[in-house]
Amino acid sequence: MKSKLLGISMLTITCLYGMLAGVIILIVKLLGGEILFAITAGIIILFIQFLISPWLTDLSMRFFYKAKFDVELPEYLKAFLFDECKKYNMKNPRVGVIDDGGPNAFTYGRTKNDARIVITRGLYDLLTEDEVKAVVAHELGHVVHYDMLFMTAVQVVPLVLYAIYEVFARNNKSDKDSSKAAMIGWIAYILYIISQYILLWLSRTREYYADEFSVKTTKNPNSLASALVKVGFGLSLQGDNKKSTSKLGALGIFDSKTSKSLVVSTNNNQDDKSSILNAMKWEMWNPWAFFYQLQSTHPLISKRLIAISKYSKEFGQEPYIEFNLQKPESYVDDFLFEVFIKFLPTIIFIAGIALVIVSPTHTMTIIGGCGILFTLSLMALFNRTHRKGYQKSTVRDLLGEVKVSGVTSISCELEGEIIGKGNPGCIFSEDFIIKDETGIIFLDYNQPLWIINKIFALFKSEKYFNKIIKVKGWYRRSPVPYIEIYQYEVDGKVKKVFTYALAKVFYYILLALFIFILVTGIGVIWYSYFLCYNTFKKGRSYMDFAELKQKAKESLKGKWGTTLGVFILYGLATNLVSIIFSPKPGADPNTTLQFSTNIVSIVLTALFVLGYTTYFLKLSRNEEVEVNILWSKVNQFGRAFLATFLIGLVVGLGLILFIVPGIIFALMFSMTMKIMADDPEISAVDAMKKSAEMMKGHKGEYFTLCLSFIGWLILGIFTLFILYFWLMPYMETTMCNYYNKIKG
């Protein structure tokens, strides 16, 4: 067994390092060898991490999981470890115990002589002595097979490949080297994905060999099988979508993503084979099970049970389980529909981006229409994962459901005892494990804010231990069977998790927002055609907004660095004082400080507004631009201040008078600063008059141009305003193009 596993491991390592060597040779051939120093440094860092990781994990176990090492073990376990370690000429591993009712077991370390095995109190509570020995023997199998060393060695390859991708996909070299680097980056990324799946396959293979080691060491395959059935739910951790393969996950009795696939009525009837078969159906029949196993460090428990049962006759036992149920239907149609529902929002999002690129003149309409479809698809997915109609259930009943997944839920009510945390012993775990008369299952406690969950985990969660709880929620499997909590009752008090309600409100707000964008976009298109008709009717040329925007993009090309510098400096200069001295919530806004702050903001705006406008006018005319243009007009502060004050006063009064007059005044005087930037001799009042004259017959057109950006402005809010760093310079350049056009 050991020589065969060694051969598989060495072949896998040879394959992976061959892939890495091929990428490195390609780099040297195309770009030279200087990058080798960075790769070498990265490998050295990984090696240092390998050396110190057991010590760091020890600290984590002690501080975050309250694990106690070198505690007195039961005599049967102490004797078993002593005999097996003596047989394999290795030191006794240090054993840590976590005081938590959730069952768990895993190993870590560098070599077999400095290994650690960590188990939880829940393992003793749920398992017989023979079953405990079988689980510990599985962990010893990892140690004897040097799994910790081999898995560390293979993990180097995907980590280095991903680092190469990160470096070369974001290079800033010349055009010739840039194309070569991009090619190398994407080759490295593809090989990174392939290497990840090879790593996961090797991890699953080593799990089968660790099971075989346990069986042949204890000569009791049924004990390991029954332990798998009993403990399966106890190792369900919260991270469903980890991108990397952790050492703890790879070397435990279960994978945190697949371990909870079997829990049956083992608390009262350990030989209930029909319940085991019932629980195996999902893994054996549902297509999602195969999909999830590909991304898991561990095989599905049903597969392991079947593999272990094959050894039973060799040791004089009846096979623990034989899966002989007939599949009533294919389940493929449900799977395909769920895949469609799951990825439909992504498809609509990508389609929306493509349409905006292809037809930028209809950006608002596209964002509104695709946004509505995107939101409706999210709502359809949300409603499927949060179905209505709660039915009283047991763990056994839930596990027997085949038509359930991460996309399709079952609304349920469950009553049982809280026996531990979802991540056993972890002080930051807000989730629970609940036990009813038929089994145990993971409870997902998830309030809208991360900080609320962590406060609950640190200060409140342990108060629920050993208490009876009634839970309403949604049972899902992805592949971990779990219940997302909606409402729970403890000690006669009913409490809710507000994520569901908040999500519903968010989706309705989002839908209303995109409807508004769509209606506005349609209105802009209609008004544009109306303007076009009137323009031709009056014998004037029609203003092409798409042309103005395209010219803005061309003007900004190659000048984004300088432009962003000007935009950021202007934003800081004109807004920083207001932000720093803004009144606290609840304070009186009509204070002397607030008034002074407003005056200072107007003064700072007046200092730089003409320079800022001049910069974008020059940019729109494809003239040379530099950052110092921003402060080149500070000597014209007087007229800039007067214009800023007068426009603000007139527009403000107009807004007070039913809003619409304010909008008209704003459009009327919108070209004032551009006129003053072009003509250093004109006065503020004359510039305002000239702007009003220039905008005659153009106010509606200019308003339509402004509205055409509203979709991007709203979308920018959802990016925490990061999009504005691109959008605001783009808008300003477009407005300058409009000014240039009507000026003639």
pLDDT of residue 266: 40
All residues at 6 or more sequence positions from 269 whose CB lies less than 8 Å from its CB, including other chains: 275
Q: How confident is the model at residue 52 (pLDDT cuts 50, 70, 90)?
A: confident
H or E, element range at 648? helix 637-656
Which tens digit of pLDDT belongs to each residue from 356-409?
877 776 778 888 899 999 999 999 999 999 998 899 999 989 988 999 999 999
| Confidence label for 249 from pLDDT (cuts 50, 70 and 90) | very low
Residue 554 has pLDDT above 80, yes or no: yes
Q: Read off φ and ψ for residue 111, nearest 5 degrees.
A: -130, 180
What's the confidence (pLDDT) of residue 233?
36
Q: What is the reported pLDDT for 537?
A: 53
Distances from the Cα of 515 to the Cα of 353, 365, 370, 509, angstroms = 18, 10, 10, 10
User: Looking at residues 522-535, what average pLDDT do you find?
Assistant: 66
**pLDDT band, very low/low/confident/very high, at 454 (cuts 50, 70, 90):** very high
With b for 16 or more beta-carbon neighbours within 10 A and e for fewer, the 405-436 pattern comes to bbbbbbbbebebbbbbbbbbbbeebbbbbbbb
Whole-number mean pLDDT of the chain?
83
pLDDT at 265: 35
Place of tokens 């009913």: 494
75 has catalytic annotation:
no
Quick one: pLDDT band at residue 716, thresholds 50, 70, 90?
Answer: confident
More confident residue, 320 or 33: 320
Q: How far apart are CA 373 and CA 78, in angstroms?
A: 62
pLDDT at 581: 56
Q: What is the pLDDT of residue 180?
A: 73
Residue pair 457/451 in contact by the 8 Å Cβ criterion: no
Distances (CA, A) of 242 to 196, 245, 251: 12, 7, 16
Query: How far apart are the C-alpha atoms of 531 and 738, rounded to whole Å?
Result: 15
* CA 103 to the chain's CA centroid: 28
d(Cα 592, Cα 476) in Å, to the nearest integer? 58
Between the alpha carbon of residue 125 and those of residues 52, 99, 260, 351, 447, the distances in Å are 33, 11, 17, 54, 30
Half-sphere exposure of 245 (CA within 13 A, CB side): 31
Query: Beta partners for 482?
Result: 442, 476
From the list 72, 75, 84, 139, the catalytic residue is: 139
Average pLDDT over every residue of 681-709: 89
pLDDT over 60 at 637, yes or no? yes
Among residues of the chain, what percentage have pLDDT more than 90?
42
Write down the domain spans for the chain.
2-315, 402-499, 543-743
Residue with the bigger pLDDT between 462 and 163: it is: 462
Per-residue model confidence (pLDDT) at position 388: 87
Residue 677, pLDDT > 90, answer yes
Query: Which residues, 6+ apart, have CB-to-CB distance to 135 below 8 Å?
Result: 105, 119, 123, 127, 214, 224, 227, 231, 253
Of 366, 361, 378, 205, the closest CA to residue 293 belongs to 205
How confident is the model over 144-169, as a mean pLDDT?
A: 81
Q: Which CATH class is domain 402-499?
A: mainly beta
What value does the mean pLDDT take over residues 571-596? 62
pLDDT per residue over 201-212, tens digit each? 989 999 999 999
Is the backbone peptide bond immediately before 585 cis, with ω within 30 degrees of 0?
no
Of 440, 408, 387, 398, the C-alpha closest to 288 is 408
Summarize pLDDT for 202-240 with one digit per residue, the tens.
899 999 999 999 999 999 999 999 888 887 633 222 333
Q: Are strands 410-421 and 391-392 parallel, antiparallel or unpaired?
A: parallel
CA 442 to CA 458: how far, in whole Å? 19
Mean pLDDT check: name the lowest of 258-267, 313-322, 595-604.
Answer: 258-267
Residue 682 CA neighbour count, 13 Å, CB half: 18
Burial class (CB within 10 angstroms; exposed 0-12, middle 13-18, buried 19+) of 175 = exposed
pLDDT above 50: residue 263: no
How many other CB atoms sit within 10 Å of the CB of residue 252? 26
Rounded Cα distance, 139 and 125, in Å: 19
Amino acid at site 482: Y
3-state DSSP assignment of residue 113: coil
pLDDT at 271 over 60: no
Q: For residue 381, which of 405, 416, 355 has the smallest C-alpha distance?
A: 405
pLDDT bin (cut points 50, 70, 90) of residue 248 is: very low
600: nearest Cα among 621, 585, 583, 579: 579
Give the pLDDT confidence score for residue 264 in this predicted structure. 34
Q: Which residues pair with 432 in a beta bridge?
A: 421, 443
Residue 31: predicted pLDDT: 60
Residue 585 pLDDT class (50, 70, 90 cuts): very low
> Residue 71 has what DSSP assignment?
P
Confirm if 85 and 64 have CB atoms less than 8 A apart: no
* Spatial CB neighbours of 663, under 8 Å, sequence gap ≥ 6: 654, 655, 703
Residue 596 has pLDDT above 50, yes or no: yes
Q: How confident is the model at residue 260 (pLDDT cuts 50, 70, 90)?
A: very low
What average pLDDT does range 104-116 have in this prediction? 87
Residue 527 has pLDDT above 80, yes or no: no
DSSP string, 452-492: HHHHHHHHTGGGGTT-EEEEEEEEEESSSEEEEEEEEEETT
Instruction: Pick the closest to residue 672 from 698, 655, 690, 654 (CA basis).
Output: 690
Rounded-to-integer distance, Cα 712 and Cα 352, Å: 13
Q: Is the pLDDT of residue 32 over 70?
A: no
Strand 94-98 vs strand 116-120: parallel, antiparallel, or unpaired? parallel
Q: How far apart are CA 381 and CA 341, in angstroms?
A: 6
At 580, is the pLDDT very low, low, confident or very high (cuts 50, 70, 90)?
low
- Which residues have CB under 8 Å from 497's CB, separation 6+? 445, 446, 447, 485, 486, 487, 488
pTM of the model: 0.70
Tokens standing for residue 120: 């939880």
Confidence of residue 744 (pLDDT cuts 50, 70, 90): confident
